[in-house]
């Protein structure tokens, strides 16, 4: 391998171990529905994470006898129409009270309660966009939620509510409320794990609580571990605290959370013969094994995992081909426990040049989207005729057959930044968003890169920053209001430091650094259903590593 790729891979695998016009909800409501996948989306349970003050107290001013003149675009006052014999049997609906906070201070679902009489249906609109239907609780009470996505919603908003009974509609006066949430980049909470621990990856549950996987030191040996924390304040939720997943030396390096709370965990452990071996297991929502596990054997390393809608798992990594080069390796276990692929390999062969010299190919992460497995990694070889380079690579696979669906996407060079690696992949409306690093061929500089690709290989977004001797991205997300979030590690003086950054325009840009003067690393991030971000990794305190996770306002 070249000097650059040798130092880059060493960094990846060793260093982490040490307003007045507020945007309306309409601007991103439909957009967000596409982006909630892969982050444990869904609304929170019965206790919304929203701090509110006051509430509406307007008197009921229903428009008596209105026919239903509403449509999906907003609320219409309607006009009284003729009444048929069947209509005469209906009683005029009335809205007695709308309980909506006057001020909202945190992102999340804001509970709204509507008390009515003679009503069969309650509808509501936020800034002209209809919300999800309100649920009938009985005795004329209907409840619903107003979604608040953080600082992007700061300012005044209008909630409109109607109550219906057949063609008869009652209208409540528009209720104005104010959103005033903390500025992006502020820390809501942060907490540390046990001494000798690190967090490799983080995800959210269907309730937006936090799952960390990594390792914890037990009697001087690092072992794979997992823990669950509250979305509200980071407190541990499992009675066992940190759960050791395997008694052998190793680490949990990736996870995927299913809609019912079960989890797929990808680990690397040292077997009885002192050989490293992948382990891919399913856990229940309490962090215990279900008995479903993918067959594996020594010789490969697993680095990323994703789950499909039915509950199957697709994992990726790398291993030696047996012919002197490294290949991408894949595992596919269906939802019914049937193993489809175990250590299936893929080797990059340039289109139109089947006799090209071998490439070293590595996979670090995977995204399952619309029936396609997007594999993110790096490929080292003669991407240019006269010189070896390492380039970020995206491979689109059919999970069932492990056959490529499109030619591989190889990242082009960017000025003097001739080399690159894609370490993490996430969902994006255009296709996929990736982060990792770019490097100069001299080997003396790196920078974090974020790029977006369409399935046809077109690159629609490019951002790079934090150039230093060591710099790489470890997590990425595209929020529903068009803000890019990236976590990473950069060299700060003589030590490495973890960071989380946001880029998207005035009022949304921020840089959040891990505290302290000793080394730290941000090893990954996750976004909640309401665009709040969790960043996880480790700090070094007194020479001892400790896992760290923080919730950062958006």
Q: Give the CA distances from residue 18 to residues 7, 13, 163, 447, 518, in Å, rounded to whole numbers and listed in that order.
A: 16, 10, 59, 19, 10
Least confident of 198-212, 268-282, 343-357, 393-407: 343-357
Q: Are 547 and 194 in contact (CB under 8 A)?
A: yes
133: number of Cβ within 10 Å: 12
- The predicted model gives 371-398 an average pLDDT of 93
Is the per-residue pLDDT at 94 higher than 70? yes
Is the per-residue pLDDT at 7 higher than 60? no
Q: How confident is the model at residue 458 (pLDDT cuts 50, 70, 90)?
A: very high
- The predicted model gives 136-153 an average pLDDT of 96
| DSSP code, position 25 | G
Distance in angstroms (rounded) separating the CA atoms of residues 16 and 528: 24
- 288 φψ region: left (φ > 0), alpha (ψ -120 to 50), beta (else): beta
- The predicted model gives 342-354 an average pLDDT of 84
And the tokens for 293? 């596990």
Give tens-digit pLDDT for 214-266. 999 999 999 999 999 999 999 999 999 999 999 999 999 999 999 999 999 99
- pLDDT given at position 385: 76
Least confident of 29-33, 150-154, 294-298, 413-417: 29-33
Is the per-residue pLDDT at 351 higher than 60? yes
Q: What residues does 473 pair with on adjacent strands?
A: 488
- pLDDT given at position 193: 98
| DSSP code, position 316 | E
376-407 in b/e form (b: 16+ CB < 10 A) is bbbbbbebeeeebbbbbbbbbbebeebeeeee
Residue with tokens 């959370």: 257
Q: Are 424 and 524 in contact (CB under 8 A)?
A: yes
| DSSP code, position 247 | S
Q: How confident is the model at residue 178 (pLDDT cuts 50, 70, 90)?
A: very high
Q: What is the DSSP string of 382-446?
A: EEETTEEEEEEEEEEEETTTTEESSPPEEPPPBTTB-EEEEEEEEEETTEEEEEEEEE-TTSS-E
And the tokens for 85? 């014999």
- pLDDT given at position 56: 41
Distance in angstroms (rounded) separating the CA atoms of residues 107 and 49: 7
And the tokens for 308? 């499909």
Least confident of 84-93, 135-144, 371-380, 381-390: 84-93
Q: Which of 217, 347, 218, 363 is nearest to 278 (CA)?
A: 363
Is the per-residue pLDDT at 358 higher than 60? yes
And the tokens for 219? 């009697």
- The predicted model gives 109-131 an average pLDDT of 97
Please give the domain boundaries of the chain with CATH numbers for all domains: 94-179 (2.60.40.10), 182-553 (2.130.10.10)
Pairing status of strand 103-104 against strand 168-179: parallel
Percent of the chain having pLDDT more than 70?
A: 83
Query: For the CA atoms of 290, 292, 298, 303, what is the dihedral angle to 10 degrees?
Result: -80
- The predicted model gives 39-56 an average pLDDT of 35
Q: Which of 21, 307, 36, 305 is nearest to 147 (CA)?
A: 36
For the chain, the average pLDDT equals 86
Query: For the CA atoms of 321, 327, 331, 332, what is the dihedral angle to 10 degrees?
Result: -120
| DSSP code, position 153 | G
- pLDDT given at position 415: 85
Q: Are 170 and 219 in contact (CB under 8 A)?
A: no
Give tens-digit pLDDT for 364-376. 999 999 999 999 9
Q: Which of 185, 80, 117, 211 is nearest to 508 (CA)?
A: 185
Is the per-residue pLDDT at 108 higher than 90? yes
Is the per-residue pLDDT at 50 higher than 50? no
Residue 545: phi and psi, rounded to 5, are -75, 140
Q: Which of 157, 148, 154 is nearest to 180 (CA)?
A: 154
Residue with tokens 């000793």: 518
Q: How confident is the model at residue 354 (pLDDT cuts 50, 70, 90)?
A: low
- The predicted model gives 295-314 an average pLDDT of 96
Q: Which of 344, 263, 316, 336 is nearest to 526 (CA)?
A: 263
């Amino acid at each position: 391998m070249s000097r650059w790729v040798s130092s880059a891979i060493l960094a990846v695998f060793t260093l982490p171990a040490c307003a007045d016009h507020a945007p309306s909800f309409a601007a991103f409501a439909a957009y967000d529905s596409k982006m909630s996948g892969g982050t444990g989306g869904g609304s929170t349970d019965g206790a919304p994470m929203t701090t509110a003050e006051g509430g509406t107290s307007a008197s009921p001013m229903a428009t008596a006898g209105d026919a239903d003149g509403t449509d999906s675009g907003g609320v219409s006052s309607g006009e009284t129409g003729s009444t048929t014999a069947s209509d005469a049997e209906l009683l005029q609906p009335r809205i007695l009270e709308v309980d909506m906070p006057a001020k909202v201070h945190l992102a999340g679902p804001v509970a709204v309660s509507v008390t009515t009489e003679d009503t069969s249906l309650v509808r509501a609109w936020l800034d002209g966009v209809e919300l999800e239907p309100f649920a009938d609780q009985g005795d004329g009470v209907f409840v619903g939620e107003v979604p608040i996505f953080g600082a992007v919603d700061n300012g005044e908003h209008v909630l409109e509510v109607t109550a219906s009974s057949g063609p008869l509609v009652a209208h409540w006066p528009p209720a104005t409320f104010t959103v005033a949430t903390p500025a992006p980049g502020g820390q809501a909470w942060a907490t540390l794990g046990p001494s000798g621990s690190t967090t490799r990856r983080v995800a959210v549950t269907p309730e937006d609580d936090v799952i960390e996987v990594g390792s914890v030191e037990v009697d001087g040996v690092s072992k794979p571990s997992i823990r669950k924390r509250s979305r509200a304040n980071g407190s541990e939720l499992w009675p066992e605290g940190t759960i050791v997943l395997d008694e052998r030396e190793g680490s949990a390096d990736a996870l995927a959370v299913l809609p019912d709370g079960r989890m797929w965990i990808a680990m690397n452990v040292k077997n009885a013969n002192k050989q490293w071996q992948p382990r891919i297991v399913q856990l229940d929502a309490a962090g215990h094994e279900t008995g479903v596990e993918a067959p594996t054997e020594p010789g490969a390393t697993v680095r990323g995992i994703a789950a499909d809608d039915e509950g199957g798992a697709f994992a990726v990594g790398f291993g030696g081909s047996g012919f002197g080069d490294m290949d991408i390796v894949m595992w596919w276990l269906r939802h019914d426990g049937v193993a489809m692929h175990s250590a299936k390999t893929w080797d990059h062969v340039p289109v139109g040049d089947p006799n090209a010299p071998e490439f070293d190919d590595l996979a670090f992460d995977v995204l399952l989207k619309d029936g396609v497995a997007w594999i993110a990694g790096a490929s080292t070889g003669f991407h240019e005729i006269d010189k070896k380079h390492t380039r970020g690579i995206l491979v689109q696979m059919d999970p069932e057959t492990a056959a490529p669906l499109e030619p591989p996407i190889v990242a082009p060079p960017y000025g003097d930044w001739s080399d690159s690696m894609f370490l993490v992949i996430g969902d994006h409306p255009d296709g996929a968003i990736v982060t990792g690093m770019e490097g100069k061929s001299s080997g003396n500089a790196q920078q974090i890169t974020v790029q977006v690709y369409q399935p046809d290989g077109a690159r629609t977004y490019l951002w790079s920053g934090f150039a230093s001797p060591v710099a790489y991205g470890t997590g990425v997300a595209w929020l529903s209001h068009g803000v890019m979030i990236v976590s990473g590690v950069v060299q700060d003086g003589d030590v490495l430091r973890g960071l989380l950054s946001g880029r998207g325009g005035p009022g949304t840009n921020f840089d959040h650094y891990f505290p302290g003067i000793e080394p730290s690393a941000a090893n990954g991030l996750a976004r909640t259903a309401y665009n709040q971000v969790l960043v996880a990794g480790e700090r070094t305190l007194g020479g001892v590593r400790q896992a760290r996770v923080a919730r950062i306002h958006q």
